[in-house]
């Protein structure tokens, strides 16, 4: 197995939420290795812990126990500013609810991470326009999120996630608030970015359309990894499923 270079590794990862008197174990000793450049889908029903796993890998929340390594660096050892640097330059985030800054235009949303990264305004503008063109919104750069459809907002979010050429794009239910066709477009876009830019894509989802493009699918249930399927094992399943749909 050591032929692969792992960009994300988790070890004994656990997260316990305390709600009143009860303790909810959202993640239970999860060990997951993600290879550089692959497209991984983390599948599971809602409440299975996939969003919690997403938050841990993205450094958005701290684990109760265990460690997350990004490029073999223990995330718990990073200072606040190193963590901010990591979020800014190494990881791009995509959310179910798009989470664009409402007061900013599409272009301003895309350039914000570049401003944080220290790019000059001109460079950021050029790059931002280029990214918006890549996601098919070249003429919509001046629109506020409220003036864009859900699919268009998610495209802006994809462009924003790619702003600083991250090594990893983390997507939490990216198609959850989109209709079938728009969802499919976003999946295709993510796959295209994965192939062209060699970005590792980690997507928490329960959208079965995602299986189609994934290199590996991690099935998670009750905070534990149930099974991990490789691309070659999935193909047959997808064929069956598409047959069933029609």
Partner 1 sequence: MSDSQGAGSVLGEPDRAGIQKQIVLPWSRALQMTRENIFVRLGRSAITASGIFLGIAFLSAVLFGAAAANVKARLDLTQLGLEHEQSELQARIVWLAAMSLLVATVGIVNSMLMSVTERYKEIGTMKCLGALDSFIVRLFILEAGVLGILGSVAGAFVGAGIMMLAYIGRIGRGGVLESWTAPALQLGGTDIRLWLAILLATVVGGMLSIAAALYPAWQAAKMPPAAALRSEF
Structure tokens at 26: 């959202």
| Residue 86 touching partner 1 (CB under 8 A) | yes
| Residue 112 touching partner 1 (CB under 8 A) | yes
**What is the 3 state secondary structure string of 57-86?**
HCCCCCCCEEEEEECCEEHHHCCHHHHHHH
Among 45, 47, 118, 130, binds partner 1 (CB under 8 A): 118
Q: Minimum distance between the CB of residue 218 and partner 1, rounded to whole angstroms?
A: 20
Phi/psi-derived region of residue 106, left when phi > 0, alpha when psi is between -120 and 50, beta in every other case: alpha
Q: Minimum distance between the CB of residue 216 and partner 1, rounded to whole angstroms?
A: 20
The Cα–Cα gap between 103 and 105 comes to 7
| Residue 25 touching partner 1 (CB under 8 A) | no
- Site size toward partner 1 (CB under 8 A) is 46
Strands (E), the chain: 6-19, 22-35, 39-43, 65-70, 73-74, 91-94, 168-172, 200-205, 216-221, 224-230
| Residue 180 touching partner 1 (CB under 8 A) | no
Among 9, 50, 87, 184, binds partner 1 (CB under 8 A): 87
Q: Which residues of the shown chain bind partner 1 in the complex (CB under 8 A)? A: 55, 58, 60-62, 70-73, 78, 80-82, 84-90, 93, 95, 99-104, 112-113, 115-121, 123, 160, 164-167, 196-198
């Amino acid at each position: 197995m050591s032929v692969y270079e792992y960009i994300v590794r988790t070890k004994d990862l656990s997260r316990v939420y305390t709600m009143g008197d009860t303790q909810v174990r959202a993640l239970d000793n999860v060990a997951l290795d993600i290879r550089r450049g692959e497209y991984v889908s983390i599948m599971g029903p809602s409440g299975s812990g996939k969003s919690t796993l997403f938050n841990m890998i993205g450094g958005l929340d701290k684990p109760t126990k265990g460690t997350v390594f990004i490029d073999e660096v223990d995330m718990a050892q990073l200072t606040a500013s190193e963590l901010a640097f990591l979020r800014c330059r190494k990881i791009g985030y995509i959310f179910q609810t798009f989470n664009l800054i409402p007061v900013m235009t599409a272009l301003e949303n895309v350039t914000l991470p570049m401003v944080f990264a220290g790019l000059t305004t001109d460079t950021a503008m050029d790059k931002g326009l280029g990214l918006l063109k890549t996601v098919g919104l070249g003429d919509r750069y001046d629109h506020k999120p409220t003036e864009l459809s859900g699919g268009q907002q998610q495209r802006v979010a994809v462009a924003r996630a790619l702003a600083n050429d991250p090594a990893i794009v983390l997507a939490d239910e990216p198609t959850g608030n989109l209709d079938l066709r728009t969802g499919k477009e976003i999946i295709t876009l993510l796959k295209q970015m994965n192939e062209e830019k060699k970005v590792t894509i980690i997507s928490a989802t329960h959208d079965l359309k995602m299986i189609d493009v994934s290199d590996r699918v991690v099935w998670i249930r009750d905070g534990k990894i149930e099974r991990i399927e490789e691309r070659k094992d999935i193909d047959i399943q997808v064929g069956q499923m598409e047959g069933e749909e029609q």
